[in-house]
């Protein structure tokens, strides 16, 4: 499948700021499930550094604007050829060992509700394989947190989402990571895109899911929001310990001012 991406992010500041430095994780890394046909990242007026890969195998660019500015635009466009690998991340070069993803952050710290969810889910599984346990946990998270846009915010933690009993893909992923850790499985947050329409029509589609390390398979994706594993409708951008760590855009504003943010992401699918 060929997925066409148009991703625009616009920051507007109440008063001009002295400059901006950003780290962009907006270029898909090459692996067996995806191959870039063409790709462009443009920030008008900015100095954009060379693309490099970090220890997790993700592509990163640094961007800086060094003059007074009231607006910043980050424009991404391109095409990616995708292939269904049943959720298994193959051919992705990285140097960070899986055990590095066994630690929680404040966003993925489990509370009593998450602990009980894991205990109840795994109690009836006996000697089930790690893969089966991971699938069961994804299904349990899906049922525990009905997908509800607007019910949470960018800083909501896994514990808070469980207390609310509602969430979106970010919340599902944070809770999934917390559950995996309690089950003794390394897990990490993945940011990317999802083409979710059956007819391939354009639509807004930033997305997030978890990857869990399974001995003998490697990293396997689990999208608890859709109770499925990533397939050829997904583009993987980058990973981290949580949503903040894996954010496609992270930055520092020099001379901070009140800002507004507008994001548009449109994905269109074409069969090969």
CATH number for the domain spanning 177: value is: 3.10.620.30
Domain membership flag for residue 208: yes
Domain at 12, CATH number: 2.60.40.2250
pLDDT at 263: 93
Domain membership flag for residue 90: no
Closest among 239, 206, 244 to 225, alpha carbons compared: 206
Q: What is the pLDDT of residues 155-212, one digit of tens each?
A: 999 999 999 999 999 999 999 999 999 999 999 999 999 998 765 555 557 999 999 9
Tell me the pLDDT band of 3, cut-offs 50, 70 and 90.
very high
In the predicted structure, residue 74 carries a pLDDT above the cut 90 = yes
Residues 168, 247, 14, CA angle at the centre, nearest 5°? 95
In the predicted structure, residue 270 carries a pLDDT above the cut 90 = no
Same domain, 57 and 168: no
What percentage of the chain exceeds 90 in pLDDT? 85
pLDDT at 181: 98
Same domain, 52 and 136: no
Query: Would you give the end-to-end CA distance of the chain in angstroms?
Result: 5
Contacts of residue 252, Cβ cutoff 8 Å, sequence gap at least 6: 20, 21, 22
Same domain, 189 and 261: no
Both structure tokens of 131: 């893969």
Same domain, 72 and 112: no
Same domain, 206 and 132: yes
Same domain, 72 and 105: no
Domain membership flag for residue 38: yes
Helix (H) or strand (E) holding 24, with range, is strand 19-27
Same domain, 54 and 104: no
pLDDT at 48: 93
If you average pLDDT over residues 251-264, what whole number do you get?
A: 85
Instruction: Find how far residue 12's CA is from the centre of its chain.
Output: 24
Average pLDDT, the chain: 94
- Other CB atoms within a 10 A radius of the CB of residue 95 amount to 9
Domain membership flag for residue 89: no
In the predicted structure, residue 82 carries a pLDDT above the cut 70 = yes
Same domain, 78 and 104: no
Same domain, 196 and 214: yes
Q: Report strand pairing: 206-214 vs 187-194.
A: antiparallel
Domain membership flag for residue 91: no
Distance CA 24, CA 248 (A): 6
Both structure tokens of 66: 């060094």
Domain membership flag for residue 166: yes
The order of strands in the sheet holding 69-82 is 34-42, 69-82, 2-17, 259-270
Same domain, 111 and 192: yes
**Sequence-distant contacts of 199-203: CB under 8 A, at least 24 apart:** 200/268, 200/269, 200/270, 200/271, 201/268, 202/6, 202/266, 202/267, 202/268, 203/266, 203/267
Domain membership flag for residue 147: yes
Q: Which residues span the domain enclosing 22?
A: 2-83+249-270
Residues 267, 268, 272, CA angle at the centre, nearest 5°? 135
Same domain, 16 and 104: no
The number of folded domains in the chain is: 2
Domain membership flag for residue 64: yes
Same domain, 38 and 121: no
pLDDT at 19: 87
pLDDT at 92: 97
pLDDT at 204: 55
**Contact at 8 Å (CB) between 224 and 176?**
yes
């Amino acid at each position: 499948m060929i997925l066409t991406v148009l991703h625009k992010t616009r920051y507007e500041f109440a008063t001009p700021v002295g400059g901006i430095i950003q780290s962009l994780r907006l270029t898909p890394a090459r692996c067996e499930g995806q191959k870039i046909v063409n790709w462009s990242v443009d920030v008008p007026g900015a100095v954009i550094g060379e693309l490099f890969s970090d220890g997790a195998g993700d592509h990163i660019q640094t961007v800086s604007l060094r003059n007074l500015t009231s607006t910043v635009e980050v424009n991404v466009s391109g095409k990616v050829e995708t292939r269904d690998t049943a959720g298994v991340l193959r051919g992705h070069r990285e140097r960070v060992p899986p055990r590095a993803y066994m630690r929680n952050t404040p966003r993925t710290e489990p509370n009593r509700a998450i602990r009980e969810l894991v205990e109840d889910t795994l109690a009836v599984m006996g000697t089930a394989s790690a893969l089966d346990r991971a699938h069961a946990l994804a299904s349990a998270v899906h049922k525990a947190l009905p997908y509800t846009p607007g019910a949470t915010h960018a800083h909501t933690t896994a514990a808070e989402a469980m207390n609310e009993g509602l969430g979106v893909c970010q919340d599902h992923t944070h809770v999934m990571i917390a559950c995996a850790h309690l089950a003794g499985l390394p897990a990490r947050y993945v940011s990317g895109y999802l083409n979710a329409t059956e007819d391939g029509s354009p639509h807004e589609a930033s997305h997030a899911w978890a990857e869990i390390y399974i001995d003998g398979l490697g990293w396997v994706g689990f999208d608890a929001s859709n109770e499925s594993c990533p397939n050829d409708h997904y583009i993987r951008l980058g990973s981290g310990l949580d949503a903040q760590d894996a954010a496609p855009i992270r930055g520092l504003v020099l001379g901070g001012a009140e800002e507004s943010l507008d994001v548009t992401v449109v994905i269109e699918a074409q069969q090969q």
